Structure 1
Amino acid sequence: LPYSFTFQLLIQSAFIEDWPRFAHRGVLLDTSRHFLPVSVIKTNLELMAQNKFNVFHWHIVDDQSFPYRSELFPNLADKGAFSRRHVYSLDEIRALVEFAAVRGIRVLPEFDTPGHTLSWGNAVAGLLTECFDSSSKPIGTFGPIDPTNPVNYDFLLALVSEIRSVFPEEFFHLGGDEVSFDCWRSNPSVIEFMKQVGYGTDYSRLQNYYFQRLLDVIKAAGLYDNFLVWQEVFDNNNTLSSDIFVHVWKGYSNLEWGRTLQSVTAKGLPAILSSCWYLNYIRYGVDWQAFYDCDPHSFKGTDEQKKLVLGGEACMWGEYVDKTNVIPLLWPRASAVAERLWSSADVRDTTLAASRLDEHRCRMLR
């Protein structure tokens, strides 16, 4: 027999009013020292979204390997990647960028120069600086990018043009950390260049020259207007404009990195902090409280200076992690960083935070 019935559904409603304390809330993954499959990167992006991170800082290449599969310069990956299986095609990268975007996450590419570029050398003749011994004989090793070779800027501009077409992000991380001057000091043509331009033996000025020339060609081409650099670019007395964000990473203690933030912001430069959030440093026992206690505004400065600190990033460098352990080592430790970057400055009680993080860990595992 035909029948009918009616029923009523009730949905409990709620209104949540919430906003982040800092605009830049990032996680750095290093895919050069150990290659990370796309599936692992996607898992990390999903966890980032659950923790309200909004910037995936992709340190995609380094000395150890060049997994970015350039279509313009395919030899970079062919000769610089661990193998032809350990690369990211441009289509894969675009798909990852879209995967991140629908989760409210920007993908910030970093191609660190002029140091950390050994994996580039076999593909581009003349790119790296040849090293010499005390008798001016080549010793068969190479150092940073040769800033005295004008052809290198043409190559870098072409590469950055391709990168810009793949990553829609408005910022570009130029790197600039840990540049050894030893090879530059040994190279006769570099020494001669230093004499010609009047730099004497101050090789930090040569690094300044490199960055300024690279910035000029990138800006002139209309590729990027905003950049990030590691703090050495600031430490070496570069003349930086306010469109360059200083990424502070040196000095684990508040005293050390606080002085750097004070100096950077005193010159009117924007900054982000990572010094206290190097999650690749593995310690015995529970260590999240130290990450939770680190506050990017914990330095001596005016309110205007502190407004220039736009946030921070948790960093997972790849020396000792790969696809088998990167996720469990990063999470839920990064959740402590996430709460610090999101929540109000007066949310500081680690006992209360512990219960929240325990529950959140279970939530992430579901």
Structure 2
Amino acid sequence: MEEKTISNSRRCYKQWLWFMVLFMSFSVIYVDAVWPMPQMISSSMARYTLNPREFIFQYSSGSSAQPGCSLLDSAFERYFPLIFTDYRAARPRQHDEWFRFPFTVVVHVERAECEGYPDADSSESYKLSVCSGQAALRAETVWGALRGLESFSQLVYQDDFGEGAFHPSTHVYTQIDVKRVIAHARLRGIRVLAEFDSPGHTQSWGKGQPGLLTPCYKGTVPSGTFGPVNPANSSSYQFMTRLFKEVTSVFPDSYVHLGGDEVDFTCWKSNPDVRGFMLKMGFGTDYTKLESYYMENMVNITKGLNKTAIVWQDVFDYHEKIPVDTVLHIWKGSPGQIQQELSSITLAGYRVILAAPWYINHIDYGQDWEKYYTIQPLNFTGTEQQKKLVIGGEVCMWGEYVDATNLSPRLWPRASAAGERLWSDERMTSSVIDAFPRLVDFRCRLLRRGIQAEPLFVGHCRHEYQGI
């Protein structure tokens, strides 16, 4: 039996996956569409039939994770209906229930972290082998096991015969809402990283925190409008300290985003108290120094709470003094400017998250996913050590023109193109032509899972015509 071998990770981890493509019953034309594509694959044409009444997930006897591991137990429950999409009456069989020759997915985890959260150092490596009657999934951590379960679920194909605005009651996030989001994400191995952007982009904050924002002046009198957070008031930093203590108690991730972008200095320049503070501090008329003073205080506040700060690139561009473990987030610039920014930031020893090429709230006619797919994040002048400081990327969907009615179709499958670029080996995923049928298939899979992903081009999904 020929093996299908996969290795996968852009995060210095090796992921290996040996598998055979599985079918629920009769053979059918298919696309080999595990998305994102693992780092290394080899396969045979062997096919196996799955029966939802004869299928179980089971822990190996030597696994550190065993029944009662909430993270994997819930994953087993979640993936069963994803694998057997039309078998509504079924539930996952328990390992001690008897029935004839079950197909068993045996999961072995070296290090159980069943009640923990994923972090920047979490290993997501796994090994998966599939043969007649059994799949063996081995992973260093539960997070790797989750990745392996997703890959397994995508190997199963059903044949053609198979069965932003504010409202006090509805448009707010309570702490209970946030905890539900974090819990939902944790079970899927996803980190929830909050951004509290300041000193700009804070007009809404002033509604609930009098005295926080800078009063703007017209000549010698207040204009009645407000600008960014007032960096000249000690009360601003006292409030921020209380805020981030609360943030720390709600968000378990060790990183927090402090913003720091697009600060308009006009209001600060108009305010006599701010101008007096500038004179006292020796900043002259250079308001970038005032922003630097503010952001340095913010980074120190979060550092005191054992959080690693992420800030937008503006903070670096203004030569602000920030700890070397701060992560810089690139959001703007032409392709050449982005490459220069990557070179400069990594040369200074800072880690980088790249977002600028993946602002998918910008809509282009046609298949704009192609430009997201062909980005090369490490294509800048720098040493190998510098390029290791590029720790990831972000797809941005700003909410001015997005709500629950169009969020999913605008995100998917366009965001998937960036996902494969950041996850997969560029040498194996350099061709847009090769990626297109796989992404079309993945889009259909999203539809079957209830995610309203928009089409890439004219066409249809097989499941849309079942029963007609």
What TM-score, normalized by structure 2, do the two folds share? 0.61
Which protein has the larger Cα radius of gyration, Structure 1 or Structure 2? 2
1:20 partnered with 2:9: yes
1:125 matches 2:210? yes
- Provide the C-alpha distance between the structure 1 equivalents of 2:322 and 2:208, rounded to a whole number of angstroms: 31
1:254-273 aligned at under 5 Å gives the runs 254-273=335-354
Q: Is the 8 A contact 1:107 1:167 kept in 2?
A: yes
Matched length: 299
Q: Return the structure number with greater relative CO, CA threshold 8 A, min gap 6.
A: 1
Query: Where in structure 2 are the equivalents of 1:45-124 lying within 5 Å?
Result: 81-124=166-209
Deviation at 1:13, TM superposition (A): 11
The answer to whether structure 1 residue 160 and structure 2 residue 228 are counterparts is no
8 Å CA contact 1:262, 1:300 repeated in 2: yes
Distance 1:183 1:107 in 2: 33
> Partners in 1 of 2:285 and 2:415 — Cα distance?
43
Listed one character per residue, the Cα deviations across residues 153-185 of structure 1 (whole Å, up to 9, x for unaligned) are 111111111111111010000001100111100
Contact 2:355/2:394 (8 A) holds in 1: yes
Correspondence for 1:316: 397
Q: Aligned runs of 1:283-302 on 2, under 5 Å?
A: 283-302=364-383
Tell me, in whole angstroms, the C-alpha distance in 2 between the residues paired with 1:354 and 1:329: 18
Match for 2:283 among 196, 199, 213? Answer: 199
Cα deviation code 1:113-146 (max 9, x no counterpart): 000000010221210000011x221111100000
Q: What percent identity do the matched residue pairs reach?
A: 46
- CA shift, 1:15, in A, is 7.3
Q: Which residue of 2 aligns with 1:228?
A: 310
8 Å contact from structure 1 (residues 81, 87) kept in 2: yes
Structure 2 residues without counterparts, runs of 5 or longer: 13-77, 83-117, 120-164, 449-468
- C-alpha distance in 1 between matches for 2:435 and 2:407: 23
1:318-343 superposed Cα distances (whole Å, 9 cap, x missing partner): 01111100100100001100110011
CA contact (8 A) 2:216 2:226 kept: yes
Conserved? CA contact 2:8–2:425, under 8 Å: no
Q: How far did residue 104 of structure 1 move? A: 0.7
Encode CA deviations 1:192-213: one digit per residue, 9 max, x unaligned: 0000110000000001100111
Q: 1:281 to 1:292 in 2, by over 3 A?
A: same
**Would the alpha carbon gap of residues 22 and 337 (structure 1) be closer, same or farther in structure 2, given more than 3 Å must change?**
farther
**Structure 1 contact 20–341 (Cα < 8 Å) conserved:** no
State the alpha-carbon separation in 1 of the partners of residues 302 and 277 from structure 2.
23
Q: How far apart are 1:89 and its partner, in Å?
A: 1.2
CA distance in structure 2 between the partners assigned to 1:353 and 1:177 by the alignment: 35
- The alpha carbon displacement at 1:81 in A equals 3.4
* Structure 2 equivalent of residue 34 of structure 1: none
Q: Is the 8 A contact 1:81 1:119 kept in 2?
A: no
Alignment partner of 1:359 out of 441, 454, 462: 441
- TM-score, structure 1 as length reference: 0.78
Secondary structure class of the residue paired with 1:108: coil
